[in-house]
Structure 1
């Protein structure tokens, strides 16, 4: 938060055209060192080269980290950037933490143990906290596209809330919205932590083409277009 408040972001543009700031790099360095020291598992972070698939395909457990998810939101100072940390075991995320530093919110879950939200002024609150009547779609400030437009039109969705892509799975788990389309431009570290939290609330994420849950530790680590739904939403009610 010190960098966020200082406005000294030292913005650079990466090869993929996305921005990175001094905060991304500081957070990456701190988190990856702490995880390796504490647990000894390999760490894949958005802000470091991904190890070759030939090396990591043998990993049984590893951490996926996005030190600052929503860098555009960080730069825009809209308070909706997150820190995402997930433990992947046996090809699926089993522990997830999503921190929203500017709002003082922490979402966390462990497979089979439930999902929780903590704020600066609260005890740990079991998720979800709300339930929406009718469809409410989470839409992105920066990444809406024709696929999302078509999904909304095909399902007669008239209610939507714009927010950072980084925070959408947390808000879905919380119950602020009940539908979210995950872009095929996103990477595994963007959704792994949020997926654990969402599944522990009774929600789900499935790839729109295959109907299967996202796989992890893929050669390219790219996500397919996927649909994330809140607790109580049946996929049979929707046109994918």
Structure 2
């Protein structure tokens, strides 16, 4: 697993290089069928990652945000496969705010067991493998182990949320929480903030795809956190998020917690649930 992780890190850094070549020039934007944006950087990173992973592990299939439908029609029969978002945060890329990432995860029997997240503009990478801990490395510097922080009620709850995807369910959820500070962060960097102890939780009552969360999920778990499904009517945190278990690739609503916060969430009185019930 350690050798495999090193190879995937190299692939992710090279994908960052391909993205930055385009980021530093003109950006051409087209719309997909679901009206989400697509750039030449998404496609360049996808092609590079697909080619390199296929050479590294030819027996494992690959599922990417940019995969063709016919490439993934048999995905529910896959037990081990790569789950890729070649450019997570395309809107942040277009807006040139630097908050976009390359996400590469290895999924085995519905669970992420290896993940790499690379932020091209920040020249920083976060990565983890099952049982090996969570790590961060800035370009040219030694790697350092990271861990999520335990929240204490003496300080504000530090919440990270999407820069580009707010909704009414999120507003109701925030009203139910203890005193908190909300910071808008793009892409899977929200999970990274929690994994390195700079934030406490990331509630996501809204559509995400499995490739948005796979790599970040194993990173946060290895850092001491967890990612659970969330009932946004009752605010109950439920089962652990899993992958390639449904016909749809859309994740259910979920919440990502730092160390031990999932237990506090379930403690009576932590939330003012009444104000956040859906109409």
**CA distance in structure 1 between the partners assigned to 2:144 and 2:256 by the alignment:** 22
**How many residues get paired?**
239
1:189 Cα shift? 0.2
Q: What does residue range 1-240 of structure 1 map to in structure 2 within 5 Å?
A: 1-6=20-25, 8-40=26-58, 41-51=60-70, 55-128=74-147, 133-209=155-231, 211-217=238-244, 218-233=246-261, 234=263, 235-237=265-267, 238-239=270-271
Cα distance change of structure 1 residues 17 and 183 upon mapping to structure 2, 3 Å threshold: farther
**How far, CA to CA, are the matches of 1:222 and 1:129 in structure 2?**
26
Instruction: For structure 2, list consecutive stretches of 5 or more residues without a partner in the other structure.
Output: 1-19, 232-236, 274-279
SS, match of residue 31 in structure 1: helix
Secondary structure of the residue aligned to 1:12 is strand
Offset of residue 72 of structure 1: 0.3
* Residues in 1 aligned to 2:255 and 2:219: alpha-carbon distance in whole angstroms: 15
Do 1:136 and 1:157's aligned partners in 2 also have CA atoms closer than 8 Å?
no
- Choose 1 or 2 for highest CA Rg: 2
Q: Is the CA contact 2:65–2:211 (under 8 Å) kept in the aligned structure 1?
A: yes
For residue 52 of structure 2, give the secondary structure of its aligned residue in structure 1: helix
Contact 1:137 1:157 in 2 (8 A): no
**What's the offset of the Cα at 1:165?**
3.5
Per-residue displacement from partner, 1:206-229 (whole Å, max 9, x unpaired)? 001370111211211110110101
CA distance in 1, matches of 2:126, 2:176: 32
Whether contact under 8 Å (2:160, 2:201) holds in the other structure is: yes
Q: What's the TM-score once normalised by structure 2's chain length?
A: 0.81
Cα distance in 2 for partners of 1:59, 1:232 equals: 32
> TM-score normalised to the size of structure 1?
0.93
- Distance of aligned partners of 1:118 and 1:130 in 2 relative to their CA distance in 1, 3 Å threshold: farther
* Structure 2 counterpart SS, 1:126: strand
Structure 2 residue matching 1:103: 3-state secondary structure: coil
Aligned-residue offset at 1:183? 4.1
Pair 1:130–1:213, CA change in 2 (3 A) = closer
**Structure 1: runs of 5 or more not aligned:** none
CA contact (8 A) 1:128 1:173 kept: yes
